Amino acid sequence: MKIRQFKLGPMDNFSYAVWDERSGAAALIDPAWQPGELDLFLKKEKLTLGLILLTHAHPDHVNGVTFFTGGNSGLPVYLNSEDQFMLESRPGGLRDAAEGEKILIGSEEITVMRTAGHTQGSVCYLARGAVFSGDTLFVGECGRVDLPGSSAEALYNSFVRLAALPDGDTLYPGHSYNGDTSTLGVQKEYNLYLKLARQGRREDFLKAVR
């Protein structure tokens, strides 16, 4: 699987193009802010957009979706059902990014991991040693839990699950905070929140995020 990271917009968001090299089938993760740049890349690389994957429904992660669904109302758009109420408009191809769901991009498989906390419907997408974490986990940081629908307790439980993933997995976050990518092994060592979750220090985690 090939991955291209795009830093876009005034909030240093990351959107991602991921694709199967053999077939040219592609997906976009959290297309936002400058969808034309993403579209230009797909056309330049002769890739076929087959679906969109959303980590959560905050506007800075979804405001480019209609650019792609406007001319293709049946394009599959995956978003966990707990976050779908936040969308201003519902794409015709909207689907539930449910825990454990296996999503194919050509011959490549992506697995949905439910990681509630920043929002109730936040998910991470796991593929070939890559973790697309949205606003759940950043390099050196964690997602905010002071927003409507967020939960520090849920985020702790999600971080416990993330801490169990292999050290060699590469982290691809939703914003450029403290860095663009890392490995989970490095984050388990130096990210306070992931370290606390790994050590089972729930109360310390809850104090740190609030």
The CATH number assigned to the domain holding 142 equals 3.60.15.10
Distance CA 172, CA 175 (A): 9
Other beta carbons within 10 Å of 32:
25
The per-residue pLDDT for range 80-120, each reduced to its tens digit, is 999 999 999 899 999 999 999 999 999 999 999 999 999 99
**How confident is the model at residue 164, as a pLDDT?**
98
Say whether 62 sits in a helix, a strand or coil. Answer: helix
pLDDT tens, the chain, 210 aa long: 999 999 999 999 999 999 999 999 999 999 999 999 999 999 999 999 999 999 999 999 999 999 999 877 899 999 999 999 999 989 999 999 999 999 999 999 999 999 999 999 999 999 999 999 999 999 999 999 999 999 999 999 999 999 999 999 999 999 999 999 999 999 999 999 999 999 999 999 999 998
The domain of 97 spans: 2-209
The per-residue pLDDT for range 136-154, each reduced to its tens digit, is 999 999 999 999 999 999 9
Distance CA 45, CA 183 (A): 27
Nearest alpha carbon to residue 15 among 1, 27, 4, 31: 31
Q: Are 172 and 130 in contact (CB under 8 A)?
A: yes
Overall number of domains in the chain:
1
Chain-centre distance for alpha carbon 208 = 23
Distance CA 70, CA 163 (A): 39
* β partners of residue 105: 108
